[in-house]
Structure 1
Amino acid sequence: MKLVIIESPGKIEELKKILGGEYKLAASYGHIRDLPLNEMGVHPPDFIPQYVITESGERTVAGLKKLCAQADEIYLATDQDKEGEAISWHLQQALELTNYIRVSWKTVTAPDVQQAMLNPGRIDKHKVAAQEARRTLDRLVGYMVSPLLSDLLGKTLSAGRVQSVAVRLVVERERQIKSFCRTNHFGAKLSFENVDTSAAWQADWHADWVTKPYLKSADEPYILDEAFANGVAAINTVTVKSYTETVTKRSPPAPFITPTLQQAASVALKMSPTETMTAAQALFDKGHITYHRTDNPNVALSHLGDIFQAALNLGLEMADDPRVFKIPDGAEAGHPACTPTHWEVEEAGKTDDERALYQLIRERAIASQLADAAYAVRTATMEAIEPVSGKVVTFSTTGRTLVNQGWLALLNRDETVDEEDEEDDGSNKNTVPTLTVGQVLTVSSGSVLAKATRAPNRYKQASLIDKLFKSGIGRPATLAAIMEGIFERKYVVEEKRQVIPTAIAEQINDALVGRFSFMEYGFTREIERDIDLIQKGELRYRDVVTKVHETLKQEIRTTKDNSSPKYPCPVCKEALRRREKDDHFFWGCSAFPICKTTLPDANGEPGQRKGIVLSEYVCNKCQSPLTHIKQTPAPGKSAFDFWACTGAANGCKAKYKNQDGKPVL
C-alpha cells in the first residue's frame, strides 16, 4: 500500500481521481504539533522548541500510525511553503518515519501531481528552521512582554510581534484624524461653451486656475485670499498658450497575490480576510485555482496559451507581448500568481463565496494579459489678466475620452481600490474641444471654489491589509490571521466598514511604543528578511532568535526599572490584574501563588474588601497595610479596638493595639 499524507481533507477527492486506486490518502488536518499552551516552551541558550502533540492532533497521529504500519511507501505531500514543510517535518518526527518520500505540487491538477510524484525529495531543514524561527519569535514576544503589559495596564492583555504593530498603525491613523486642523482655502474655475461641431465634443467644458505660482510659501500651500479668488473668477476672456492632443494608455492590474486577493474580496465582495482565505483554500483543494498564498504577481508561462484561448472565446484583445509584473521587494516568489487551473471553466466552487471569488480570480488573471486601455487626451493652458491686481494668471484643462477599451472590456476598474477612496480629477467628464495657440476664448461663467483640506481616511480592512503588506508587516500567509486576531481581541472594531481602535488599543500602544523595538515598523521587515536568510541557509536559527531574546530581556528590564504597575497590590506591591471567574470580575495579585491577595471589582478598578479599609500604616513584619477593627459594646457582643495586618492570606496574622486612633507598632 502506498500512503500519501496531505494537509487538508478537502483535497482527497480530487487526488483520488489523479493518483488512482493504488494510493491511500490521509490528512493531517494541518499542524499536529505545536508549542505548549500554558508555557513558553522554548528557552535559552539553544532555544530548542519543546513541541507537544495538539489535542486534535492526538487522534490524527494515532490513526496515521496505524496506516503507516500497513504501508509499503509513505509520501509526505504537504504544501510547498514554510508551513507545509514544517508540517511534513512534524509528521516525520511524530510518526517516527525514517524511510519517507517528500513530494509537493503547486496545484491539485494531474500534470503537477504526476510530475511531483516522479521527482521525490527530502524535507528541507532550512525551510523548517525558518518556520520555527517565526513561530519562536512570536512566542518570545507573546510570553515575555504580555505579562509586563498586563501589569502596566492592570488587565490581562496580549502583545504580539506583528499584531501589536498592526494595532499601532490603526491607533496612529486615528490620532492623525483627531489632531487634524481643517484649512479653508480657495480656487477658481472658468466654464466655456463648446463651439466645436464635432459630435463627440458637444458638452460645455471648464478650466481650473493654477494656484501654485501665487502661493506665499511652502508653509502656506493654499490660496487663503477669497477676494483674489473672486477676481480670478470674474475674468471674461483668456488666451490659449498651449494645446496638445495625445493618446495615453492604461495597463491592467496584475493577477492576484494574497494581499491583493484579500483587498479585492473586501472591496468587491464585502468578504473578510478570513472568509476570503477559507473560500480560496476550498477552491485550491478542489484543484480550481493555483496556490493562494503567494507574493508573486506573475502568471506561470505555461498558462499563457490558456489565457489567450480564454480571451479569444470572450472576444477580447490580447496584449502584443506577455506581461511581466514587478515582484514586491522581499517576496519569496516561490509560487506564481493566484489564477485558475482550468481556464475554460467559467464557474467553480460549491458556495456563493467560492463562486464569486473564483470569478474575481479568473477575470483578473485574464485581464492581466489583455491589451491596454487607450484614451484620447486634450490638454491646454490659458492665460489672462486678473482685473483687480493686474497679475497674469494661468488656467489648465484636460479632457480624456476612452477610445479603446482593452482590458476595461472585462474589468471596469481595479477592484483592490475602493471607489469611495478613489480621487477623480474630472478629466473624463471634461469635453475639451480642438483649440489653437493664440486663440481668444470668451468665458461663459466663472466660479470660486471653496475648498477645505481633509483629514486622512480611516483604514478599511482592504487598505489596512495593503499597508501591512507594503510595510513588510507579516507575510501573505499571515495577513488574515493578523486581522482576525486584532478584531477577536477587540483591539479594533469596524464601523461603516472603517477600522477604528478601541480605548484599550490606545493604552497598549502607549505602553509599548518607545519601550520595545519590535513595535518599530522597520523591525518586522528586518526579521522577515532574516527568516528568509535562514531558509536560504545563510543565517542560523539560533543566532536570529538569541539576538531578539537578548533585546527583549534588556527592554523588559529597563521598562520595569522605569515604571510601576497601574494598580499595585496593597500587600506585596506587585501588579494587580483584573480577572474573570463565574461571570464576574475580581482583582488578583500577579504574584500568585506567593501572594494570594484578591479584591472585588469596582467598575473596572480594584475595590475594597467588604468591611476592610486599608490604612496608611503598614505591618512591621510583612509590610502589608493595616486595617482598623473596632466594635463598640452591644448586647451579647464584646467590645474590641485594634489594628490588624491585611496580609493574612500570605500567613501574617499580626495585630497591634490602638492608641489615640493609631496602631502601636
Structure 2
Amino acid sequence: MNLVIVESPGKIKKIQSFLGASFRVMASVGHVRDLPEKEIGVEPPDFRPHYVPTDRGKDVLAKLASAAKDAEAVYLATDPDREGEAIAWHLEDALRLKGAKRITYTEITDTAVKAALGNARSVDRDLVAAQEGRRVLDRLVGYMVSPVLSRQVGERFSAGRVQSPAVRLVVDRERAIRNFRVTVHYGVELTFEAAEHITDGWKAAWLPKRGWLAEGEEYILDKAIAAQVAAVSALEVSDCQESESKAAPPAPFVTSTLQQAASAALKINPKRTMELAQKLYEAGHITYMRTDSPNLSEEAVAAIRSWAGQHDYPLPAKPRAWKSKAGAQEAHEAIRPTHIEVEEAGETEEEKALYRMIRLRAIASQLSDAVFAVRVVTLTGTVDGKQAVVFEARGRALIEPGWKALTAKDETDEDDEEPENQVPQVEPGRQLSPQAATVLTKKTKPPARYTEAALIKELEHRGIGRPSTYAAILDNITGRGYLQLEKRQLVPTAKGEKVVDSLVDYFAFLDYEFTRQMEEDLDRIAEGQVQYLAVVSAAHSQLDQELGQFVVKTSPKCPDCGKPLRHMVKADSKDKKGYNFWSCSGYPDCPATFADAGGVPGDRQEKKALEPSGFDCPKCGKPLIRRTGTSKAGKPYDFFGCSGFKAGCKASFDVKEDGTPDFEKAEKKKQS
C-alpha cells in the first residue's frame, strides 16, 4: 500500500478514485505544526523556529504516523506553493519519514495526478526556508512590537509586518480625501446638428489648453471666459483624422485579479472568493487558485483555440502569451477550467458564477483583439474675432468585436472604456455653426476610497504581500477593527489611524518600499540566492534597534532620574485585580510611580510611610511595624513585621486582642 497525503479532506475522494486500491489517500488538514501561541518561539542568534503540533495536528499526526508505518512509499501531495512545500516538510520531519516523495499538480484530474506520481522529487528546502522566513518575520514584528506599542499608548494594539502598511494605505487615502479642496472650473460643449446616421447630433469639447491657459494653470476658473467662448458662432473643420484602435483581451485570472473581479462583478469579498475557488479546485473544476503567473500551459492554450475554432470565435494567428509582473512566482499556470468545454460547474450559485467568470476570462484571453474605428474632428474659430479657440469631437465605433463577442466587459478595468460618441465624417475646410452651446460647471474630485478589490490591486502594485496573503490581510485588518466597510468602501477607524500614527515615524516596516524589498528578499530565499538566517537576523537587528528608539522617543521622562516612564496596564480578571499606572524604567534604583491620567502620567503615587509601632523585634532589635491591608488575592491581613526585612530579618508576629504583638505564640511555634 502507498500513502498519499494531501492538505484538504475535500480532495481525498476525487484523488482516491484516480489511484485505486493500491493507494490510500489521507489529509493533513492544513498545517500540523506551528510556532507556539503564548511565546515568540524563535530566538537569536540562530533564529531556529520552535514548532509545536497544533491542537488539530496532534491527532492528525498520530493517524498519519500509523498509516505511514505500514506504507511502502509515502507521497507528500500538499499544495503546489511555498505554504504547501512547508507543510510537506513539516510532515516529513514530524513523522520522521525516510525517502518521502514530494509530488505536485495544478489540477485535480486523472492525468495530472498520475503524471505527478511519475515526477516525484524531494522537498524543496529553499521554498520551505522562504515560507519559514515569512512566518518568522511576521512573528518577530507581532511579538516584539505589539506589546511595547500597547504599553506606550495605553491601549491594546497589534502591529503586523504586512497588515500595518495595508492599514496605512487606507489611512493615507482617507486623509488625502479629507484634505482635498474642490476646485470649481468651467468648460464648453458644442452640439452640432444631426448628420449621416447620427440622429441625436454630435458634440465637441473646448480644449482650453490650446491658448487659454498660462503655464502651470490646469483649469479655467472664470465662468465669464467660458461664456465668452460659448458664444462662438462659426467654426472651421481644420482636421478630420480616421484611425483604428485595438483592445487586447485581459489576461487569464491570477489570484489578485480573480479577487478583484469577483469583488467588482459578483460582489463577493476576497476571503469568500478564495473559499469558493478552493471548492472548485478540490472538485477538479479549475486549476490551482493561488498563482501570480498570467500564462496558460501549451495544452490549455491548444484546447481553448480548438474550442474557439469549433464555435466560430475569432483567433489571432499565434497563441497569446502574457508578461508577468516583476517578482511573479511562475511555478504553475494561471487560473482556468480543467475542461474548457464544460460551461457550468459548482455546487452553489456562487460557485457557478465564479466558475463562469473564470472560464470566460480564460477563453477570451486567447481570442482576437476588439477593433474600433476612431474618428477625431478638430474645429477652430475665433472669439470676438480676436482669440483663436479649438474644439475637438472624438468618437469610436466597434467594427470587429473580437474577444468582446464572448464577454462584453473586462470586470477589472472599469475605467478603461471610452464613450461611444459617434462623429460624422467631415471634410477639412468645411464651415460649421453649432446648434447649441453649453457652459459646463465642473468640480475636481478627491481620490476615491479603496474598495477591497482596489486595495488588493494597490498592494500588488506596490509589491506588498503575495497572492496567498491578500485575503488574509483584509480579513485581519477589518477583524481587528482598524478598518470598516461602508457601502463596500474601506474606511479607517479611529483605532486604525492611531495605530498608524503610533508606528509610522519609528518603524521601517511601515514604509512601502521597505516592505516591497522584504518580499523580494523572501523570493530570493526561495530561489536559493540568499540564506534564511541572513535575512531574518538583519531584520531582527533593525527591529530591535527601532524598538529601543521608539521607547525612548515616545516615553515621558521620569522627573527624578530622567529615564523613560513605562505605562503599566493590566485589565481586571476573575482572580486578580487590574492596575493602570506609570512606573520608572529605572526601577528598583528609581521607584517613582505616577497615577494614569488619560494615557499620560498624572500625580505622583506616594507610598504611605509606615511608622514604628513602639515595639522592638526580639530577633534583631529593630522597630516592628504594624502592617494592615488587603492582598492581591483579596484577603485582608494584619500583623507586626520587622522593619529590618530588607536586611534579612523576616520576623513577623500575629496581633493579640489588645493590639500588641503576640511574642509568646511566635516563641511556641519556634520551639515546636
Select which of 427, 443, 449 maps to 2:434.
443
- Whether the 8 Å contact between 1:150 and 1:577 is mirrored in structure 2 is no
| 1:384 maps to 2:381 | yes
Could you tell me how far 1:194 is from its partner in structure 2?
Answer: 2.3
- Whether the 8 Å contact between 2:152 and 2:551 is mirrored in structure 1 is no
Q: Tell me the distance in 2 between the aligned counterparts of 1:6 and 1:619.
A: 63
When residues 615 and 513 of structure 1 are mapped into structure 2, their CA distance, relative to the original with a 3 A threshold, is closer
Select which of 511, 524, 530 maps to 1:533.
524
- Whether the 8 Å contact between 1:195 and 1:202 is mirrored in structure 2 is yes
Could you tell me how far 1:76 is from its partner in structure 2?
Answer: 1.0
| 1:618 maps to 2:606 | yes
Q: Tell me the distance in 1 between the aligned counterparts of 2:144 and 2:343.
A: 51
Q: Tell me the distance in 2 between the aligned counterparts of 1:343 and 1:486.
A: 37
**What SS class does the counterpart of residue 250 from structure 2 fall into?**
coil
Corresponding residue number in structure 2 for 1:459: 450
Could you tell me how far 1:532 is from its partner in structure 2?
Answer: 1.2
When residues 526 and 646 of structure 1 are mapped into structure 2, their CA distance, relative to the original with a 3 A threshold, is farther
Could you tell me how far 1:477 is from its partner in structure 2?
Answer: 0.6
**What SS class does the counterpart of residue 354 from structure 2 fall into?**
helix
Could you tell me how far 1:506 is from its partner in structure 2?
Answer: 0.4
Q: Tell me the distance in 2 between the aligned counterparts of 1:105 and 1:590.
A: 57
Corresponding residue number in structure 1 for 2:463: 472
Corresponding residue number in structure 2 for 1:406: 402
Query: Deviations along 1:410-451, whole A, 9 cap, x unmatched?
Result: 111111245xxx37653x0x2211111111111111111111
- TM-score of the two chains, using structure 2 as the length reference: 0.86
| 1:575 maps to 2:567 | yes
Select which of 243, 246, 249 maps to 1:249.
246
Equivalent residue letter for 1:69: K
Q: Tell me the distance in 2 between the aligned counterparts of 1:282 and 1:235.
A: 64
Q: Tell me the distance in 1 between the aligned counterparts of 2:101 and 2:582.
A: 49
| 1:492 maps to 2:504 | no
When residues 66 and 463 of structure 1 are mapped into structure 2, their CA distance, relative to the original with a 3 A threshold, is same
- Whether the 8 Å contact between 1:377 and 1:400 is mirrored in structure 2 is yes
**What SS class does the counterpart of residue 392 from structure 2 fall into?**
strand
Q: Tell me the distance in 1 between the aligned counterparts of 2:372 and 2:48.
A: 60
Q: Tell me the distance in 2 between the aligned counterparts of 1:554 and 1:616.
A: 31
| 1:397 maps to 2:355 | no
Higher alpha-carbon deviation: 450-459 or 98-107: 98-107
Corresponding residue number in structure 2 for 1:74: 74
- TM-score of the two chains, using structure 1 as the length reference: 0.87
Q: Tell me the distance in 1 between the aligned counterparts of 2:412 and 2:537.
A: 39
When residues 402 and 303 of structure 1 are mapped into structure 2, their CA distance, relative to the original with a 3 A threshold, is same
Q: Tell me the distance in 1 between the aligned counterparts of 2:604 and 2:594.
A: 18
Corresponding residue number in structure 1 for 2:160: 160
Corresponding residue number in structure 2 for 1:129: 129
- CA radius of gyration, larger in: 2
- Whether the 8 Å contact between 1:153 and 1:507 is mirrored in structure 2 is no
- Whether the 8 Å contact between 1:238 and 1:440 is mirrored in structure 2 is yes
Q: Tell me the distance in 2 between the aligned counterparts of 1:580 and 1:71.
A: 53
When residues 616 and 36 of structure 1 are mapped into structure 2, their CA distance, relative to the original with a 3 A threshold, is closer
Q: Tell me the distance in 2 between the aligned counterparts of 1:577 and 1:304.
A: 61
Query: Deviations along 1:224-266, whole A, 9 cap, x unmatched?
Result: 1211110111111100111111121111111000000000010
Query: Deviations along 1:600-634, whole A, 9 cap, x unmatched?
Result: 999xx5799xxxxx854633989xxxxxxxxxxxx
- Whether the 8 Å contact between 1:471 and 1:521 is mirrored in structure 2 is yes
Could you tell me how far 1:215 is from its partner in structure 2?
Answer: 5.1
Equivalent residue letter for 2:567: A
Select which of 278, 303, 307 maps to 1:306.
303
Equivalent residue letter for 1:76: L
**What SS class does the counterpart of residue 65 from structure 1 fall into?**
helix
- Whether the 8 Å contact between 1:76 and 1:101 is mirrored in structure 2 is yes
Q: Tell me the distance in 2 between the aligned counterparts of 1:403 and 1:361.
A: 26
Equivalent residue letter for 1:397: A
Equivalent residue letter for 1:440: Q
Select which of 289, 292, 299 maps to 1:292.
289
- Whether the 8 Å contact between 1:3 and 1:23 is mirrored in structure 2 is yes
Equivalent residue letter for 2:228: G
**What SS class does the counterpart of residue 477 from structure 1 fall into?**
coil
Q: Structure 1: any 5+ residue segments left out of the alignment?
A: 609-613, 623-643, 656-665
Q: Tell me the distance in 1 between the aligned counterparts of 2:384 and 2:572.
A: 74
Q: Tell me the distance in 1 between the aligned counterparts of 2:77 and 2:397.
A: 53
Select which of 494, 507, 515 maps to 1:503.
494
When residues 565 and 82 of structure 1 are mapped into structure 2, their CA distance, relative to the original with a 3 A threshold, is farther
Equivalent residue letter for 2:515: T
- Residues 66-215 of structure 1 mapped to structure 2, 5 A cutoff: 66-196=66-196, 199=197, 201-214=198-211
Select which of 268, 271, 282 maps to 1:271.
268
Q: Tell me the distance in 1 between the aligned counterparts of 2:378 and 2:577.
A: 70
Query: Deviations along 1:165-187, whole A, 9 cap, x unmatched?
Result: 00000000000000000110111
When residues 413 and 580 of structure 1 are mapped into structure 2, their CA distance, relative to the original with a 3 A threshold, is farther
- Whether the 8 Å contact between 1:129 and 1:534 is mirrored in structure 2 is yes
Corresponding residue number in structure 2 for 1:524: 515
Corresponding residue number in structure 1 for 2:422: 431
- Whether the 8 Å contact between 2:555 and 2:565 is mirrored in structure 1 is no
- Whether the 8 Å contact between 2:582 and 2:593 is mirrored in structure 1 is no
Corresponding residue number in structure 2 for 1:640: none
- Whether the 8 Å contact between 1:215 and 1:222 is mirrored in structure 2 is no
- Residues 364-375 of structure 1 mapped to structure 2, 5 A cutoff: 364-375=361-372
- Whether the 8 Å contact between 1:587 and 1:599 is mirrored in structure 2 is no
Corresponding residue number in structure 1 for 2:665: none
**What SS class does the counterpart of residue 339 from structure 2 fall into?**
coil
Corresponding residue number in structure 2 for 1:56: 56
Q: Tell me the distance in 1 between the aligned counterparts of 2:399 and 2:186.
A: 34
- Whether the 8 Å contact between 1:151 and 1:566 is mirrored in structure 2 is no
When residues 77 and 346 of structure 1 are mapped into structure 2, their CA distance, relative to the original with a 3 A threshold, is same
When residues 263 and 513 of structure 1 are mapped into structure 2, their CA distance, relative to the original with a 3 A threshold, is same
Q: Tell me the distance in 2 between the aligned counterparts of 1:8 and 1:27.
A: 6
- Whether the 8 Å contact between 1:267 and 1:417 is mirrored in structure 2 is no
Q: Tell me the distance in 1 between the aligned counterparts of 2:583 and 2:91.
A: 39
Higher alpha-carbon deviation: 253-262 or 94-103: 94-103
- Whether the 8 Å contact between 1:599 and 1:606 is mirrored in structure 2 is no
Select which of 266, 279, 282 maps to 1:282.
279
**What SS class does the counterpart of residue 441 from structure 2 fall into?**
strand
Corresponding residue number in structure 1 for 2:543: 552
- Whether the 8 Å contact between 2:595 and 2:603 is mirrored in structure 1 is no
Q: Tell me the distance in 2 between the aligned counterparts of 1:141 and 1:236.
A: 68
Q: Tell me the distance in 2 between the aligned counterparts of 1:191 and 1:381.
A: 14
When residues 578 and 356 of structure 1 are mapped into structure 2, their CA distance, relative to the original with a 3 A threshold, is farther
Q: Tell me the distance in 2 between the aligned counterparts of 1:187 and 1:483.
A: 41
Aligned identity (percent) is 44
**What SS class does the counterpart of residue 222 from structure 1 fall into?**
coil
Could you tell me how far 1:104 is from its partner in structure 2?
Answer: 1.4
When residues 450 and 587 of structure 1 are mapped into structure 2, their CA distance, relative to the original with a 3 A threshold, is farther
| 1:15 maps to 2:6 | no
When residues 58 and 617 of structure 1 are mapped into structure 2, their CA distance, relative to the original with a 3 A threshold, is closer
- Whether the 8 Å contact between 1:567 and 1:606 is mirrored in structure 2 is no
Equivalent residue letter for 1:461: E
Query: Deviations along 1:281-329, whole A, 9 cap, x unmatched?
Result: 1111111111110101111111122112332454422222211111011
Q: Tell me the distance in 1 between the aligned counterparts of 2:280 and 2:594.
A: 53
Q: Tell me the distance in 2 between the aligned counterparts of 1:75 and 1:238.
A: 78
Q: Tell me the distance in 1 between the aligned counterparts of 2:90 and 2:45.
A: 23
**What SS class does the counterpart of residue 359 from structure 2 fall into?**
helix
**What SS class does the counterpart of residue 246 from structure 1 fall into?**
strand
Q: Tell me the distance in 1 between the aligned counterparts of 2:330 and 2:322.
A: 12
When residues 393 and 645 of structure 1 are mapped into structure 2, their CA distance, relative to the original with a 3 A threshold, is farther
- Whether the 8 Å contact between 2:582 and 2:595 is mirrored in structure 1 is no
Could you tell me how far 1:591 is from its partner in structure 2?
Answer: 8.7
Equivalent residue letter for 2:410: D
Corresponding residue number in structure 2 for 1:625: none
